Amino acid sequence: MTVTLFGIKNCDTVRKARKWLEAEQVTTQFHDFRDDGLTQMQLQSWVDTLGWEAVLNKRSTSFRALSDAQKSKLDSTSAIALMLEIPTLIKRPVLVQDDKVLLGFNAADYQAWFTK
């Protein structure tokens, strides 16, 4: 079972997720999408599974820094383009196992994910 945790290493929520995974002895590959990049295909698969509105972090500093024009014209295509250009717009962490995707970190959700 290969589990990949996508995020940014200095994000507090990502740190919590990594700590939880380590405590539960879940072998995880970490992928920092700021340092390691992200392909359009990866991002598109998350958007296809969860919807672009869920993947785009509208509470982030990066989102607030966008122009009103950028914010008002958002759709799936433009949101994906922006998230590829500015990876900090992606809600994190993103936990991926095969074709399953879990967004954000909640200990109860992670526990349920791994006890299925």
- Whole-prediction pTM value? 0.92
Domain boundaries, the chain: 3-114
> How many other CB atoms sit within 10 Å of the CB of residue 35?
9
CATH 3.30.1600.10 fits 3-114, yes or no: no
Q: Which of 3, 11, 50, 74 is catalytic?
A: 11
**3-7 and 28-32 strand pairing:** parallel
* Predicted local distance difference test score (pLDDT) of residue 1: 62
- Please name the residue that has the structure tokens 């994906």: 80
- What is the Cα–Cα distance from 48 to 46, expressed in whole angstroms? 5
Active site residue 51: no
pLDDT by residue (tens digit) across 58-115? 999 999 999 999 999 899 999 999 999 999 999 999 999 988 999 999 999 999 998 8
SS3 readout for 6-58: EECCCCHHHHHHHHHHHHCCCCEEEEECCCCCCCHHHHHHHHHHHCHHHHECC
* Predicted local distance difference test score (pLDDT) of residue 56: 97
